[in-house]
Amino acid sequence: MADTESHSHTGRIEAFSDGVFAIAITLLIIEIGVPEVHGGGDLTDKLTDLWPQYIAYVLSFFMIGIYWANHHALFRLFHSTDHYFLMLNIFFLMAVAFLPFPTAVVGEYLKDSVHRDDAVHFYALGLILPAMGWVSLWLYARYRGLLDPDLDPKYCDFLTRQYLFSQVPYWGALAVSFVYAWAAMAIIIGMAFLYTLPPRRPRYLSDQNYPPNVDD
């Protein structure tokens, strides 16, 4: 098969990915069940008792939403794809679609002193998987020549460092969760806020504002 036949534009990949993101982000709220009030129970108290599930929902919604926004921006940098890139994107989407499950687990057991640590371990692992899929997508695309050839290599180096470094806090949260689960959750919350910052604008060799011989 000719090389031109093994590559394609990214439109269909993005459309399929958008569908998976939409389903995953919808499943998050479905996992929060309506509390039952029996006898003289107070509904307000029951709703308040669901606060761990609210926290887990907001965190995971932010994470998936940020991945969706960055996925859209990232795919603007590609000029082609191949079979293995598609499979890596499938792995990434599988990890995103899996996230509602550890979200439900940590929401259910965050108040449980017996099972809290295991729940946070599982949640941290659930966040590690899409992060690994993301960096795999980028590294494969970069070193297989799937990126826009007009991209400034220094900008590509910056993204490579950023994506590799982004793995560290997730693994750190997993490690810390074996010592103190609440500290691990604090790291995860901090990462969610950090990722709301806008990404750096792409730099192109043809852009007059960013000549290739100017350092960052």
CA distance linking residue 84 with residue 109, whole number of Å: 38
Report the 10 Å Cβ neighbour count for 29.
11
Number of domains in the chain: 1
pLDDT at 95 over 50: yes
Nearest Cα residue to 3 out of 79, 82, 89 = 82
Residue 138 lies in a domain: yes
Residue 215 lies in a domain: no
Secondary structure (3-state) at 53: helix
Per-residue pLDDT band for 4 (boundaries 50, 70, 90) equals very low
Length of the chain: 216
Report how far apart, in Å, the C-alpha atoms of 64 and of each of 113, 122, 210 are: 28, 17, 32
Percent of the chain with pLDDT over 90: 63
Residue 76 lies in a domain: yes
For residue 154, give its domain range.
8-31+46-194
Residue-wise pLDDT tens digits, 41-51: 788 888 899 99
Residue 22 lies in a domain: yes
CB 102, CB 27: distance < 8 Å: no
Residue 210 lies in a domain: no
Residue 103 lies in a domain: yes
Q: Tell me the whole-structure pTM to 2 decimals.
A: 0.85
pLDDT at 196: 79
Residue 40 lies in a domain: no
